[in-house]
């Protein structure tokens, strides 16, 4: 095979050079003035890629190797062989205990931007981020806190390109000359609490569980809560699939401006993270976890994580109103857990070799009502929002029951409904009623799903992918079909045969596209996996059942038609028509019963989830 390359014109070369140049500009200019404040708390850039697993080609060094309170230490980030980097978020953290707090402060050098992530020192930022210029080395002066916080390490993610980064470049330990002056910190224990919450949900403790009818031993998601009167604290135990679980407490059924509590386990380390879900952006800020006590985490052999801890009834969180770099003081948010709140539970996996959680792809479980955490009541949680379930129920009713029934009744079974009412045969009344009712149901379903996404097409499309676009196409085809029916030519018109062909083509196109659209639901990653599997089972069962009748009934009609043509007498023809009528009635009964069984079972599945 020849290795020669096709000649490239100067114009093409210039175009490719421009594309490459602009790609580099995108990578370095995504945050040209430094990363947002919240990036200081997270060691994994939210770029949608996994961190590299190889040893990082970067290092963090410092001098001197010991510090006293208030002392200045010189810290350097460099490529080990001169490699350049585009982004970083440098901070100092305790080696143990409260590792979420960023300690000390930095003087901001050229090529960096200072970030204030709940800094105790209003004059010095406690985090440094990139200044938007590629560089291979940067040195900063770090000033230790005025009181000893114990041994410290410097940490930073390092971004080489948008898709290539290392999540946790860590220095050696900067030793404290004197021991930490911090108050005792509640330890985190790996394993089960010596006082497990046992007994029945609704009597021994309160709980939130999903699926709604599950037993506490086999629930996909389980939250137990108990009011500890002697300590005047709230105990929470969260149990879910994966190696992280995040609990959200909200005053409405949508996340935003809410308290979160996250537990992680595995190779990236075990952690409990107090957090805050801001109203103005989709992320979870990590905060200091000092209010959490009696902390236990356990990864089970079943691939689940169990997290057990206690909280005070009032939890205070500080947050920045401006997500960009700012030295403005944070705003205090206070959460009184005695107030009934909706409970959210998200779960999944952390980034590789990290305790930073990935954005969960499946929708969180949400309690069906506000939960009184002081009670011992049992609550259920749904995995699909009420509007989405209503949308799914209406679209299923329209396109897996009413529309196919109306179309097949007109195509195959009209001889069973030949009585005339108002000069119109019964089959046509039924056909038109099924189709118009199905159209109305699907139109309401479309409006509901737009309401779910705040009437924003871009938001709906990004969450539903091709499913939403195909659904709208089907509704448009239904409108065309209704208009064609209203404008159909008279029986004796020469255009009538062409109308029938066009009418059937549009009908079968819409129904086939509806089947495809409904199947795509089984591949929407935002839906629970168990629901997607059951949905695909129902969808292909319905499709197979429907195809059998689409093949069998035309064959039956063709055979009876052939027999009627070969009949020698009118009595024989009448006998053949009677036999056809009886067989069609039997087939229609089986078809209707089968459709109802599959449809109703499917509908119950949607409601339960």
- pLDDT at position 416: 87
Tell me what the mean pLDDT of segment 76-96 comes to: 90
Tell me what the mean pLDDT of segment 124-141 comes to: 85
Q: Which residue has the higher pLDDT, 183 or 397?
A: 397
- pLDDT at position 3: 38
Strand partners, 235: 226, 310
| Per-residue pLDDT tens digits for 382-430 | 877 788 888 888 988 988 889 889 888 888 888 888 888 888 889 889 9
Tell me what the mean pLDDT of segment 80-96 comes to: 89
- pLDDT at position 15: 33
Q: Which of these, 516, 508, 503, 410, lies nearest to 466 by C-alpha position?
A: 516
Average pLDDT of the chain, as a whole number: 81
**Running DSSP on this structure, what letter comes out for residue 400?**
I
* Banded pLDDT at 375 (limits 50, 70, 90): very high
Task: Select 38-176's CATH number: 3.30.2420.10, 3.40.50.1100, 2.60.40.4060, 1.10.3720.10.
Answer: 2.60.40.4060
Strand partners, 388: none
- Residues sharing a CB contact under 8 Å with residue 187, sequence separation 6 or more, in sequence order: 295
- pLDDT at position 28: 36
Give the pairing type, strands 233-241 and 271-277. unpaired
The dotted CATH code for 188-382 is: 2.60.40
Which residue matches tokens 């080395």? 137
- pLDDT at position 462: 57
* 3 state SS for 264-323: ECCCCCCEEEEEEECCCCCCCEEECCCCCEEEEEEECCCCEEEEEEEEECEEEEEECCCC
- Alpha-carbon gap, residue 385 to 473, rounded angstroms: 24
Q: Please state which of the ranges 2-11, 151-160, 226-235, 368-377 shows the lowest mean pLDDT.
A: 2-11
- Alpha-carbon gap, residue 23 to 59, rounded angstroms: 26
Q: Which CATH class is domain 386-608?
A: mainly alpha
| Per-residue pLDDT tens digits for 261-292 | 888 887 777 888 888 887 765 667 777 777 88
Centre a 10 Å sphere on the Cβ of residue 214 and count the other Cβ atoms it contains.
Answer: 14
Strand partners, 307: 238, 297
* Banded pLDDT at 100 (limits 50, 70, 90): confident
- Alpha-carbon gap, residue 508 to 500, rounded angstroms: 12
Rg (the chain; Cα; Å): 32
DSSP H helices in 496-528: 496-520
**Running DSSP on this structure, what letter comes out for residue 356?**
P
- Residues sharing a CB contact under 8 Å with residue 38, sequence separation 6 or more, in sequence order: 117, 283, 285, 320, 323
Is residue 165's pLDDT more than 60?
yes
Share of the chain above pLDDT 90, in %: 19
* Banded pLDDT at 358 (limits 50, 70, 90): low
Burial class for 336, CB neighbours closer than 10 Å (0-12, 13-18, 19+):
exposed
Dihedral class, residue 118 (left if φ above 0, else alpha if ψ from -120 to 50, else beta): left
Reduced to 3 states (helix: H, G, I; strand: E, B; else coil), residue 460 is helix
- pLDDT at position 379: 92
* Banded pLDDT at 457 (limits 50, 70, 90): low
Give the pairing type, strands 233-241 and 221-228. antiparallel
Contact 378, 77 (CB under 8 A): no
How is the chain split into domains, by residue range?
A: 38-176, 188-382, 386-608
Tell me what the mean pLDDT of segment 457-467 comes to: 63
Contact 476, 443 (CB under 8 A): no
Threshold 0.85, pTM exceeds? no
Q: Which of these, 278, 213, 227, lies nearest to 38 by C-alpha position?
A: 278
Host H or E run for residue 175: strand 175-176
Reduced to 3 states (helix: H, G, I; strand: E, B; else coil), residue 226 is strand
Is residue 11's pLDDT more than 60?
no
Q: Which residue has the higher pLDDT, 456 or 11?
A: 456
Domains 38-176 and 188-382 share a fold: yes
Tell me what the mean pLDDT of segment 222-235 comes to: 92
- Alpha-carbon gap, residue 603 to 511, rounded angstroms: 19
Q: Please state which of the ranges 42-51, 560-569, 582-591 shows the lowest mean pLDDT.
A: 42-51
Strand partners, 404: none
Contact 310, 234 (CB under 8 A): yes
| Per-residue pLDDT tens digits for 290-339 | 788 899 999 888 788 899 999 999 998 877 665 554 456 677 788 999 99
Contact 369, 208 (CB under 8 A): no
Q: Which residue has the higher pLDDT, 157 or 216?
A: 157
Query: What is the DSSP secondary-structure string of 7-60?
Result: ---HHHHHHHHHHHHHHHHHHHHSSTT---GGGGG-SS--SSSPPP-SPPSEEE
- Residues sharing a CB contact under 8 Å with residue 228, sequence separation 6 or more, in sequence order: 234, 235, 310
Tell me what the mean pLDDT of segment 559-588 comes to: 84
Is residue 66's pLDDT more than 90?
yes
Share of the chain above pLDDT 70, in %: 84
| Per-residue pLDDT tens digits for 501-560 | 888 888 888 888 888 888 888 887 777 777 788 888 888 998 898 888 888 888 888 888
Tell me what the mean pLDDT of segment 110-128 comes to: 73
Is residue 43's pLDDT more than 70?
no
């Amino acid at each position: 095979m020849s290795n020669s390359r096709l000649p490239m014109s100067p114009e093409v070369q210039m175009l490719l050079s421009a594309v490459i140049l602009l790609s580099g500009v995108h990578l370095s200019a995504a945050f040209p003035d430094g990363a947002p404040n919240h990036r200081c708390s997270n060691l994994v850039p939210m770029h949608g890629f996994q961190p590299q697993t190889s040893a990082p080609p970067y290092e963090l060094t410092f001098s001197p190797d010991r510090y006293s309170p208030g002392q200045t230490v010189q810290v350097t980030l460099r490529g080990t062989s001169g490699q350049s980097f585009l982004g970083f978020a440098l901070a100092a953290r305790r080696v143990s205990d409260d590792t979420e707090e960023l300690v000390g402060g930095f003087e901001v050098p050229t090529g960096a931007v200072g970030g204030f992530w709940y800094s105790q020192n209003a004059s010095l930022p406690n985090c440094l981020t990139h200044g938007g210029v590629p560089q291979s080395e940067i040195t900063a002066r770090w000033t230790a806190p005025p009181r000893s916080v114990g041994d410290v390490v410097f940490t930073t993610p390092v971004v080489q390109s948008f898709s290539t980064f290392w999540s946790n470049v860590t220095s050696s330990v900067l030793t404290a000359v004197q021991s930490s002056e911090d108050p005792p910190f509640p330890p985190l224990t790996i394993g089960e609490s010596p006082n497990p919450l046992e007994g029945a949900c609704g009597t021994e403790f309160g709980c939130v569980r999903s699926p709604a009818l599950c037993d506490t031993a086999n629930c996909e998601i389980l939250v137990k809560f108990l009011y500890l009167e002697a300590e005047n604290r709230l105990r929470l135990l969260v149990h879910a699939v994966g190696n992280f679980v995040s609990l959200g407490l909200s005053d409405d059924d949508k996340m935003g401006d809410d308290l979160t509590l996250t537990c992680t386990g595995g190779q990236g380390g075990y952690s409990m993270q107090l957090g805050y879900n801001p109203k103005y952006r989709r992320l979870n800020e990590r905060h200091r976890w000092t209010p959490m006590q009696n902390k236990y985490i356990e990864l089970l052999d079943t691939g689940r994580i169990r997290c057990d801890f206690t909280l005070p009834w009032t939890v205070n969180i500080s947050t920045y109103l401006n997500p960009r770099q700012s030295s403005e003081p944070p705003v205090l948010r206070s959460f009184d857990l005695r107030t009934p709140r909706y409970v959210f539970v998200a779960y999944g996996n952390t980034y590789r070799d990290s305790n930073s959680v990935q954005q969960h792809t499946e929708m969180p479980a949400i309690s069906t009502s506000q939960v009184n955490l002081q009670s011992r009541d049992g609550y259920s949680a749904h995995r699909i929002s009420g509007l989405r379930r209503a949308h799914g129920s209406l679209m299923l009713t329209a396109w897996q029951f009413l529309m196919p029934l109306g179309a097949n009744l007109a195509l195959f079974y009209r001889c069973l409904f030949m009585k005339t009412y108002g000069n119109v045969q019964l089959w046509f009344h039924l056909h038109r009623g099924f189709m118009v009712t199905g159209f109305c149901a699907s139109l309401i379903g479309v409006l509901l799903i737009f309401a779910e996404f705040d009437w924003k097409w871009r938001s709906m499309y990004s969450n539903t992918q091709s499913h939403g676009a195909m659904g709208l196409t089907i509704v448009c085809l239904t409108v065309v079909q209704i208009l064609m029916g209203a404008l159909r030519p008279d029986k004796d018109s020469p255009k009538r045969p062409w109308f029938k062909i066009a009418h059937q083509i549009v009908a079968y196109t819409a129904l086939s596209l509806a089947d495809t659209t409904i199947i795509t639901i089984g591949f929407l990653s935002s839906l629970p996996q168990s629901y997607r599997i059951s949905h695909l089972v129902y969808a292909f069962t319905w499709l197979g059942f429907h195809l059998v009748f689409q093949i069998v009934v035309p064959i039956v009609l063709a055979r009876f038609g052939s027999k009627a043509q070969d009949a020698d007498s009118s009595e024989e023809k009448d006998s053949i028509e009677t036999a056809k009528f009886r067989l069609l009635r039997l087939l229609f009964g089986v078809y209707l019963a089968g459709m109802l069984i599959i449809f109703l079972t499917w509908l119950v599945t949607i409601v339960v989830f």
